[in-house]
Structure 1
Amino acid sequence: MTLIDLSHSFEDGMPGFRLEDENGTETEYTAEIHPLFTHEESRSKYEGEAAFEVTEIQFQTSVGTYLDAPYHRYPDGRDISELEIDELVLPGIVVDARGLAPGEQLTEAALPPEASLAGKAVLFDFGWSQYWGSEKYRSYPYLSESVIETLIEANVALVGVDTINIDDHRDPARPAHSQLLAEEILIVENLRNLTQLPESGFRLFAVPIKAVETAAMPVRAFAEVSEN
């Protein structure tokens, strides 16, 4: 058995998402990580016999490698805490989607046979994680509506991408989020190392903390690859 890490490091000032402000500028959301108190600051509390650091993190939950629950799109959808463990540990398939240009959509011709997709985590390797942290990462290829429809018809369990957004950010309707989450198909964004995975024969683990009334949450995504 081999374990492959599919997550970006979660760190202070990491790349996040941007939203346009009313004045036309953009705000980038990220994580802030710092000590609540340091080892040295805590030493006196233990009479010099021990010392501990406690870390404080402030972040929006849609940063890093993260999972979207239906509540992210729909007010009456299930939140992160309501997802079952067996929805977060799934057999996986990787679709080779490399070679597309920024703003280009992937067509259903790239998909494997529909019958092989049922109940699976379907991960799309656009080769885009190599641009993590650069401006190029923010302009990316995406899934066409025909691919989204095929995934729904095939009854997949989860869809993952190695881009910042499963949808084209220029489309306000957000068809992938809207249609997949309406069908209880979970979404993971900002994956990495998908090229290291076999096309099939692995299990995806994408388990967040059990956060109540939470729409999305970072995960330590990884794959368990069976030895043949």
Structure 2
Amino acid sequence: MVEFVDLTHTFRDGMPGFRLHDADGSYTEYTAAIEPFLTHEDARPKFDGRCSFEITEMQFQTSVGTYLDSPAHRYAGEKDIAELDLSELINEGIVIDVRGRDPYEAISESVLPAGVDLSGMAVLFNFGWDSHWGTADYREYPYISESLIDRLLVENVALVGVDTINIDDDRNLDRPAHTKLLAEDVLIVENLCQLDALSDRAFRLYTIPIKATDTVAMPIRAFAEC
């Protein structure tokens, strides 16, 4: 029997997002605002009281929640979200268990399984960091090292995902994971969750965003088919 595992944090009003530091020492907070654009009460007179509908309005930066980065996120003029083919968004997957790490600990290529062909696969790193979602601890996290990034490129992976707020060390302004992976059209997914459910299991990963043009990243409903 086919099982589906939801790997997506719930998208909600005021949800946690990332922060970018500003020149004055403050920071810009990224989040989502969700509210009714038209309520049932407002709509009812428009239908002569015979029925009613609610319409929702959402405002958010596209790099919040569980989301996908396209190459255009790092490189102006490269492939954006709408230009991604469905075949790039559905991949056989593998979860690498890297739980038990400390904040800002880098993991090396030694975590990759020996003798496993990763070509064309979605490689997901389970730090167990989704347990910190919505807390201050979520903002300081382990990450993949530059040597591991290079190895993933040699292995010709299709997508790399993490259950942390950033695939890169946010103290490193070179952002090597985004820089190297997206240069080779290796897609990135951040803020995954429930990767424990996929340990030692074969699965197919779906990372489908809205087909939005001139958009470099987009929240997705990430899920696995086991």
TM-score class, shorter: over 0.9
Tell me the SS of whatever aligns to 1:180. helix
Q: Give yes or no for the alignment of 1:48 onto 2:44.
A: no
The residue aligned with 1:129 is 130
Letter in 2 for 1:175: P
Q: Structure 1 pair 3/40, CA: closer, same or farther in 2 (3 Å)?
A: same
State the SS of the aligned residue for 2:63: coil
Distance 2:78 2:134 in 1: 32
Measured after TM superposition, the shift of residue 77 of structure 1 is 1.2
Q: Which 4+ residue blocks in structure 1 deviate beyond 6 angstroms?
A: none
Structure 1 runs not aligned, ≥5 long: none
The equivalent of 1:210 in structure 2 is: 211
CA distance in 2 between partners of 1:179 and 1:199 (Å): 28
Fraction of identical pairs, as percent: 58
SS at the partner of 1:206? Answer: strand
Deviation at 1:44?
A: 0.1
Alignment of 1:2-41 (within 5 A): 2-41=3-42
Query: Are 2:123 and 1:119 aligned?
Result: no
The answer (yes or no) to whether the contact 2:97–2:199 under 8 Å persists in 1 is no
Aligned partners of 2:217, 2:114: CA distance in 1, in Å? Answer: 30
Amino acid paired to 1:46:
F
Which residue in 2 is equivalent to 1:93?
A: 94
Tell me the SS of whatever aligns to 1:116: coil
Residue number in structure 2 paired with 1:84? 85
Aligned residue pairs, count:
225
3-state SS of the aligned residue for 1:93? strand
Cα shift at 1:99: 1.1
Q: Structure 1 residue 200: deviation in Å?
A: 4.1
Tell me what 1:159 maps to: 160
Q: Whole-Å Cα distance in 1 between the matches of residues 201 and 152 of structure 2? A: 16
SS in 1 for 2:209: coil
Displacement after TM superposition at 1:19 (Å): 1.2
1:114 Cα offset (Å): 6.1
What is the distance in 2 between the residues matched to 1:79 and 1:39? 36
How far apart, in 2, do the equivalents of 1:178 and 1:164 lie? Answer: 17
Amino acid at match of 2:51: A
Does structure 1 conserve the Cα–Cα contact (< 8 Å) formed by 2:18 and 2:30? yes
**Which residue identity lines up with residue 82 of structure 2 in the other structure?**
S
CA contact (8 A) 1:115 1:154 kept: no
Q: In 2, distance between residues paired with 1:22 and 1:146? A: 31
For 1:65 and 1:43, how far apart are their aligned partners in 2? 35
Paired AA for residue 215 in structure 2 = T
Q: CA deviation at 1:168?
A: 0.1
Instruction: Give the direction of change, closer, same or farther, for the CA distance of 1:87–1:114 in structure 2 (3 Å limit).
Output: farther
**In 1: Cα distance, 2:70 partner to 2:216 partner:** 6
CA distance, structure 2, for counterparts of residue 199 and residue 67 of structure 1? 24
Instruction: Compute the TM-score of the two structures, normalised by the length of structure 1.
Output: 0.97
Cross-structure match for 1:146 = 147
RMSD of aligned Cα (Å): 0.9
Q: Which runs of 5+ in 2 are unaligned?
A: none
SS at match of 1:148: helix
1-side partners of 2:200 and 2:127: how far apart? 14
Normalising by structure 2, report the TM-score. Answer: 0.98
Deviation at 1:195, TM superposition (A): 0.6
Shift of 1:23: 1.6
**Structure 2 CA distance for aligned equivalents of residues 108 and 150 of structure 1:** 6
